[in-house]
């Protein structure tokens, strides 16, 4: 990664920020984006710069990549919290907001990046295991993440030699969960951790390790790598 240029969309916290930190430690020049200018200004990570961007707005994506090319690797962590809940009570406006917060921003960023990303580089999307978890209360999340996952192998084929991959995190202790009260979140993490072979919920570092690997491995494309503690083997 030394002297390579990395762009992390949605990189001011959680998985995105930890990925940016790992890339910078390996000698890369890293730009992270986010909607919150104050949060970006507060970042203090050597080798990491901030640029304000709302990836839900295509015109902003086009302008950003016009100013930040050429570069070698793209990581798209843009996400939102809407779309969860039992289907019987799920407000479809909330599901639409979930698509607006994750599905469209990820496609905006990827498509707009194509004019500046190196042909032999990589793009890594961040989905979620909810695409295949088949758990009650996650139909909306499955729709959002499943739509991205269904597109992935086709994107890898169409955009070759650009390598396009995805990580699918399970339950990861990041600010995404901060909307849940502390005591409830602690109990939830304990229960979810006990249900998977790894015996714990994940960390941003667990996912960032895989993201960095996918950028560096030139023989992986069209793949979805689950970082879920062994969810498929749960009791």
Domain 5-173+203-224: which topology?
A: Rossmann fold (3.40.50)
Question: According to the 3-state scheme, what is the secondary structure of the chain?
Answer: CCCCEEEEECCCCHHHHHHHHHHHHCCCEEEEEECCHHHHHCCCCCCEEEEECCCCCHHHHHHHHHHCCCEEEEEECCCCCCCCCCHHHCCHHHHHHHHHHHHHHHHHHHHHHCCCEEEEEEEEEECCCHHHHCCCCCHHHHHHHHHHHHHHHHHHHHCCCCEEEEEEECCEECHHHCCCCHHHHHHHHHHHHHCCCCCCCEEHHHHHHHHHHHHHCCCCCCCEEEECCCHHHCC
The pLDDT tens digits for 166-195 are: 999 999 988 877 777 888 888 988 998 999
Q: Please give the model's pTM, rounded to 2 decimal places.
A: 0.93
Residues of the chain below pLDDT 50? none
Predicted local confidence at residue 232, as pLDDT: 83
Q: Give the model's pLDDT for residue 183.
A: 86
């Amino acid at each position: 990664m030394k002297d390579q240029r990395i762009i992390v969309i949605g990189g001011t916290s959680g998985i995105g920020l930890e990925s940016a930190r790992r890339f910078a430690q390996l000698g890369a020049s890293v730009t992270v984006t986010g909607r919150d200018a104050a949060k970006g200004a507060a970042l203090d990570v050597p080798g990491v710069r901030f640029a304000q961007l709302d990836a839900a707005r295509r015109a902003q994506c086009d302008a950003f990549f016009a100013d930040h090319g050429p570069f070698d690797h793209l990581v798209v962590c843009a996400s939102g919290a809407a779309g969860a809940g039992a289907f019987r009570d799920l407000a479809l406006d909330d599901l639409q907001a979930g698509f607006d917060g994750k599905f469209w921003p990820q496609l905006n960023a990827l498509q707009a990046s194509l004019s500046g990303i190196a042909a032999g580089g990589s793009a890594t999307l961040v989905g979620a295991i909810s695409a295949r978890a088949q758990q009650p209360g996650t139909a909306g999340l499955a729709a959002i993440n499943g739509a991205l996952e269904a597109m992935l192998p086709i994107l890898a084929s169409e955009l070759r030699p650009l390598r396009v991959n995805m990580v699918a995190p399970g339950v990861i202790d990041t600010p995404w969960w901060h909307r849940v009260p502390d005591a409830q979140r602690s109990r939830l993490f304990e229960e979810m951790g006990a249900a998977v072979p790894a015996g714990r919920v994940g960390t941003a570092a667990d996912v960032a390790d895989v993201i960095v690997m996918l950028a560096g491995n030139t023989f992986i494309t069209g793949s979805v790598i689950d970082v879920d503690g062994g969810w498929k083997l749960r009791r």
